[in-house]
Structure 1
């Protein structure tokens, strides 16, 4: 039967659970990742970005490391920092980072 009187077996399947976040915090920058180090040193202070394209962030970072693909950190005031592939560099830890674009 189709319509409002349909049996539950004919109803739409339940929605899947939430997808795991594409980024994670760690004590180090993992191989193959683009990483940002939080400006306040704490346990697991490296944010590991996993996917290509835009990764929204909203925090302050003082170090960037590209363990593979290059990336750009965009700040709220319109400035940006580029981190080349297989390199690392200081970032503007006083400027709010809002997006990280990973090139693939």
Structure 2
């Protein structure tokens, strides 16, 4: 009991415990804040990789358009549903099956 009492009265131990409690819970950069920052960072890195892939795809499309006139026609037909004067276009889309209870 005496040893426990001397540990509790130790000013260095009390200062260390107070410092740890302060840093873990009350400081501006506590554990909860650091966790949310890491989560936000992971989300931003995921978005960054997505946008880098999209950017590469757009640059490839631009380069294809500049070098190949058939590519312009293909993109105009697929994306913008353009057609020649004597053509008919049929758009086929998949329909999700209905669920029966």
Between 1 and 2, higher relative CO (CA 8 Å, sep ≥ 6) is seen in 1
TM-score for the superposition, normalised by structure 2: 0.27
**Structure (1 or 2) with the larger CA radius of gyration:** 2
Per the normalisation by structure 1, the TM-score is 0.26
Structure with the bigger percentage of helix: 2
